[in-house]
């Protein structure tokens, strides 16, 4: 019997190799696998958002007539005060003390004839410690808030359909991208069974004024009222009046209004009855090559409890495509401050009208991403496409 070949034992990594591997693991953990250009894009987007938060408090008219140097100094002071006033009173004091400790060594304060410097590196060190402690406190608050928002996002996902329903004669798709963790946009496709009219479907897209958690909470109340009223078998005009009365009870005198497009569609007959409550007029692209705008309705919900909403109607045929969207789509802004606008959306719908509903939305979101570039998203984006089969 021939002897078994000896198996080579791998040599242990050298100290430089171990150090290199530890460095790679550390960088992978910190960066979560993102490339440098992705990290830079993320940082710039966050910086623009943060600057926008603070710059809203700038009083630019007070510094417009100053010379460049003094104007920059005045804006820097306004920026500092904007940051300072976002903190709690106790943390404001900590920040001020930390800044003093960092500045004192730079101005070389002398307290005696012997030239003893009270500042020096010791005060700078404690100033850095205070800033680090303040950062830790702010991060703890941010993590707690983020955890609460993640829970709110999970709950919000329960309120809207995860996948388009399978409805005979219809090809439905939707997409929603919140500007923050939670959104004020709402979309839904609800089966309805009206007396003697057979199976119908309610198409709903709404946009609560504002963003983030306040808008998300109102969106939840809107969803609850709409779902409840839908089960009563009411006609669309009755449904809109009921939702509007409920919205007026929670709109703080019309300050938290909701724009909405509600439509009842009978897939068997192609009859579409709708109300547009102050919402962006949806696009109904006909297979014949014409475009209709669905704009009949009235003011946003939550402004006037007894407003007499009108209902529009249309007949849809196989090959027609209905596109319902919120203002976050057409008001998406790129780095040059240009809006995406309907002048870009309408040609896209024309080009993609022959695609399935999901294909149209995929193309739209891709073009939006290219158009916006590294600019931050300032509003929720929601779009629903319904193709008649």
Give domain 163-388's CATH architecture. Answer: 4-Layer Sandwich (3.60)
Distance CA(285)–CA(350), nearest Å, equals 7
Instruction: For 336-372, write each residue's pLDDT tens digit.
Output: 889 999 999 999 999 998 899 999 999 999 999 999 8
φ/ψ of residue 327, rounded to 5: -70, -15
Look at residue 277 in the predicted model and tell me its pLDDT. 94
Q: Cβ distance 204 to 258 under 8 Å?
A: no
Look at residue 254 in the predicted model and tell me its pLDDT. 64
Residue 194's pLDDT band, with cuts at 50, 70 and 90, is low
Instruction: For 296-333, write each residue's pLDDT tens digit.
Output: 999 999 998 889 999 999 999 999 999 999 999 999 98
Where does 160-211 have alpha helices with state H?
none
Please return the burial class of 37, using the count of CB atoms within 10 Å of its CB with bins 0-12, 13-18 and 19+.
exposed
Distance CA(129)–CA(326), nearest Å, equals 47
Distance CA(207)–CA(216), nearest Å, equals 10
- Other C-beta atoms lying within 10 Å of the C-beta of residue 85: 11
The four Cα atoms 363, 364, 366, 372 give a dihedral, to 10 degrees, of 160
Distance CA(147)–CA(2), nearest Å, equals 65
Residue 295's pLDDT band, with cuts at 50, 70 and 90, is very high
- Other C-beta atoms lying within 10 Å of the C-beta of residue 306: 8
Residue 8's pLDDT band, with cuts at 50, 70 and 90, is low
Length of the chain: 389
For CATH 3.60.40.10, list the domain ranges present in the chain.
163-388
Kind and range of the H or E run holding 331:
none
Q: Residue 50 above 60 pLDDT?
A: yes
């Amino acid at each position: 019997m021939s002897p078994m070949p000896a198996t080579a034992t791998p040599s242990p990594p050298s100290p430089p190799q171990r150090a290199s591997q530890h460095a790679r693991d550390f960088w992978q953990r910190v960066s979560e696998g993102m490339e440098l250009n992705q990290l830079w894009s993320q940082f710039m987007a966050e910086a623009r958002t943060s600057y926008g938060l603070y710059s809203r408090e700038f009083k630019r008219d007070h510094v417009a007539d100053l010379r460049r140097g003094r104007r920059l100094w005045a804006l820097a002071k306004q920026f500092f005060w904007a940051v300072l006033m976002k903190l709690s009173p106790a943390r404001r004091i900590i920040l001020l003390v930390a800044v003093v400790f960092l500045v004192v060594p730079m101005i070389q304060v002398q307290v005696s004839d012997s030239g003893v410097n009270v500042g020096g590196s010791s005060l700078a060190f404690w100033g850095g410690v205070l800033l680090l402690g303040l950062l830790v406190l702010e991060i703890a608050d941010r993590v707690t808030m983020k955890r609460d928002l993640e829970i709110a996002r999970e709950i919000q996902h329960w309120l809207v359909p995860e996948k388009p329903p399978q409805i005979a004669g219809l090809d439905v798709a939707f997409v929603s991208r919140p500007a923050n963790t939670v959104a004020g946009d709402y979309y839904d496709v609800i089966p309805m069974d009206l007396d003697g009219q057979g199976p119908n479907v309610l198409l709903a897209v709404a946009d609560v004024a504002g963003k983030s958690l306040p808008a998300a909470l109102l969106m939840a109340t809107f969803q609850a009222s709409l779902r409840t009223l839908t089960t009563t078998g009411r006609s669309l005009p009755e449904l809109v009046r009921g939702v509007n009365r409920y919205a007026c009870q929670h709109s703080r005198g019309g300050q938290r209004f909701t724009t909405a497009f509600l439509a009842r569609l009978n897939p068997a007959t192609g009859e579409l009855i709708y109300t547009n409550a102050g919402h962006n007029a949806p696009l109904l692209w006909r297979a014949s090559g014409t475009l209709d705008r669905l704009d009949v309705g009235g003011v946003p919900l939550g402004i006037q409890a007894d407003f007499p909403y009108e209902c529009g109607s249309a007949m849809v045929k196989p090959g027609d495509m209905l596109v319902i969207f919120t203002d976050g789509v057409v008001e998406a802004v790129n780095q040059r401050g240009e809006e995406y606008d309907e002048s870009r959306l309408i040609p896209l719908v024309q080009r993609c009208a022959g695609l399935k509903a999901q294909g149209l939305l995929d193309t739209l979101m891709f073009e939006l991403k290219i158009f916006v570039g590294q600019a931050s998203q300032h509003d929720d984006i929601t779009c629903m496409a319904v193709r008649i089969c």
